Amino acid sequence: MQDGGLLVIETENRQVARPFEINGETVAPGEYIVLSVTDSGMGIDFVTLPRVFEPFFTTKEVGSGTGLGLSTVYGIVTQTGGHILAESEGAGQGTGFKIYFRRDETMSEELESEVIKAARVGDPDLPVICISGYRQESIAREVESMDNVDFLPKPFSLKQLAVIVKLSHDRSRKVATKSVLTN
């Protein structure tokens, strides 16, 4: 948005009751996490809108863009089993993108704890702050049993975030100092 404007990024849980089509692909019924990115920029005209995900398609001047940005996003989203939709009411009306990711509860429990463990492969004392709007009982027990892990429930204030970051940082410095002194 050359002259500034409003950029809104939102996430939501969405239950799809009936199949519908995006870009010629069917979105099956089920639970999804939807990532929406909208702006109040120059919008996309109706002739251009169906082509925005085509490789090497660009409306920019020669040398100003490759036409691969949205094509790359489309490839990543579809390779993960997701769907992406581009929306615009026309030139001057802003643009919106909605990305649908299939929700899989069985994987989320494993991932929340595969992410902490994977991050700590190189540094077992790495401090972690988990932020979430809800906690499942099994995940909460596993996360709370790990050393140097703090939990910050949503919504939270900037002050609450600063306090927990400071506590986590101070605790990790003590662990590092203790390690140096004993080695």
pLDDT in tens, 62-95: 666 666 777 888 888 888 888 998 888 877 788 8
pTM for the model stands at: 0.56
Whether the predicted pLDDT of 162 surpasses 90:
yes
pLDDT digits (tens, 9 = 90+) for 8-17: 999 999 999 9
For residue 101, what are its two tokens? Answer: 């990711």
- What letter would DSSP give residue 54? S
pLDDT band of residue 55 (cuts 50, 70, 90) is confident
What's phi and psi for 132, nearest 5 deg? -155, 155
Pairing of strands 20-22, 128-132: unpaired
Taking the C-alpha atoms of residue 114 and residue 162, their distance in angstroms, rounded to an integer, is 26
pLDDT of residue 107: 54
Q: Say which residues have a Cβ less than 8 Å from residue 47's Cβ, sequence separation at least 6.
A: none
Tell me the β-bridge partners of 131. Answer: 152
What's phi and psi for 50, nearest 5 deg? -70, -10
Are 105 and 139 in contact, with CB atoms under 8 Å apart? no
Residue showing tokens 């492969």: 121
Question: What is the maximum alpha-carbon separation in the chain?
Answer: 68
